[in-house]
Structure 1
Amino acid sequence: MKAWAKAFYLSAAWEQTRAAYLMSQDYICERCGEPAKVVHHKQYITKENIGDAGVTLCWDNLEALCQDCHNKEHHRKERQRRYRFDEDGGILPPISKKN
């Protein structure tokens, strides 16, 4: 959790919204159908919009996700993991980053 967002994520308003939203989705991930434990903000929370309840607490901006789907969402833009493997399990060289 980012330091600037800590107060929001520990607030009663967020805790109540999060709990109610997960319950409304029957604690099921909206992407894969596995058990959900994360309430994700579709429009990411930023320093600029954290005070806007239309972004932070609006159910239209929320999505119930399992931890795996939440991780995929936040790491989808990563170009390269530390290791890559071919179809036989052999280690592949890193992909060079394009500038």
Structure 2
Amino acid sequence: MKDYAKKFYKSKAWKKCRTSYFASKYGLCERCAGPGKIVHHVKYITPENITDPNITLNHGNLELLCQDCHNKEHHERYNATAYGLMFDINGDLVRK
């Protein structure tokens, strides 16, 4: 968690919003239907928008994800290849 967001994620408003959103999705990951764990902001929270409830507390900007899907969301953008692809030992692009 980024320092600028710590106060927000500990707030009563966020905890209430998170709980209600989690319940509205029956606790299931919206991408893989596994057990949900993290209520993710689709439009990422930044220092500029953290006080905007249309971004931070709006169910329309939330998505319930399992840990794996949340990790893919945040870490795949740093991969050199698209999801499901990799380079083999010869340097050729292949499917995983």
Q: Which runs of 5+ in 1 are unaligned?
A: 87-91, 95-99
Match of 2:47 in 1: 47
Give TM-score scaled by structure 1 length. Answer: 0.80
Larger Rg: 1
State the Cα distance separating 1:17 from its structure 2 match.
0.4
Query: Percent identity between the aligned chains?
Result: 53
Structure 1 residues 93 and 29: CA distance shift in structure 2, 3 A: same
Instruction: Write the distance in 2 (CA, Å) between the matches of 1:85 and 1:49.
Output: 38
Which has a greater percent of helix? 2
Match of 2:31 in 1: 31
RMSD: 1.7
Structure 2 residue 34 is matched with structure 1 residue 12? no
Give TM-score scaled by structure 2 length. Answer: 0.83
Runs of 4 or more off by more than 6 Å in structure 1?
Answer: none
Count of aligned residue pairs for this structure pair = 86
Q: Which runs of 5+ in 2 are unaligned?
A: 81-85, 92-96
